[in-house]
Structure 1
């Protein structure tokens, strides 16, 4: 009967070590959760600790949304008084050409392949009409996995 007690004691010590290792590895953002867990009279199980941290992560995701705009199509443009200028800005926004640069004429919003000065307007426009286009919006990480950390 002594072996069963020793086995339980060893399992409890192993789980306790894993809990401390997990809590020590948390970011500084989770200091208050670490303190809450360690202040309890009885140390919770490893699953309870994981659940507590996961719950805090979910709460932060919902309540403290940082409004990440990396890779998003959010753009703020100051309104101009010239209506022709506004129409050009709208066209640029919808075509997604704000990051393009021509190495031939050294002007923005197009590349060397679509440069009117190099190829002529009619040739570039006729090429653009022949090529079918598809627009795609993606969300999340590139490999399809969630990028959260325990």
Structure 2
């Protein structure tokens, strides 16, 4: 009767019991995202400790949970032990996994890995300290640089953990280490952060690393906003310069007609005011060309009726002057469509003063 009750108690374990296995637990689970390949053992050990604690199975690797004396609980304990071994093996690389595959308990497996990779030695400390001295911001932003240097700090902390003294001395040592790390972090920044770096170092007491990081991030955001505001007017001025550069003369002055407000000529050389040259070609003024052609035809007919060539020339000048006066009364937007020079001034020859 008692054996039946013991078996029933095993099958009805409370979820808070370390021998309880959730239905979703299986040997193929990966508790950490990155596998351990022999480097950065401290980071891997920390991640596995958190995951096993969340699964309520940390007692299997720290030696608290041992094989029970109750024969009815032994199978359940063995199941949990094998499950923890499978979870650990899933996070190891192929070579390391094969070397510890036949370990009987999760506690022995954990200790073997700790003895092999977790022992503090001079070479490891030298490597980490050298990385701290050589690291700098370079082309990285503040967030990327801080992430890299903090990963090295965490690994150093895992190797050299301070004892938990109840007298408060541990807080003094912790503050000293934090101040040293703050100086290391500020030393690796680029030269553009010299002013904000000096302001942080002048604070009494020195701020925490998190507070200093927040100050640097705020300063970085303000620089981005300031650079954006400066860029906008500079680009606008470049556009204006590009638009007006084609109307500049050799004296680097913008030439504008004071009468018609057009670029490219002055009022004393405006064709509409002083008259068009005889060899000027109206390539796009269809109406003017057609009217001129018709008047020339009429004048030729009148020449055949007895007009001399001088009289015909005077009539042509009068016709040209009448067309100029009529065109000067039209709207500037309509006249701008007549030709590239708008019939207001000369072509590129006038801008250079060639005629």
Report the TM-score range of the alignment, normalised by the length of the smaller protein.
Answer: 0.3 to 0.5
TM-score of the pair, normalised by structure 1? 0.42
Q: Tell which structure's C-alpha radius of gyration is larger.
A: 2
Normalising to structure 2: TM-score of the pair? 0.19
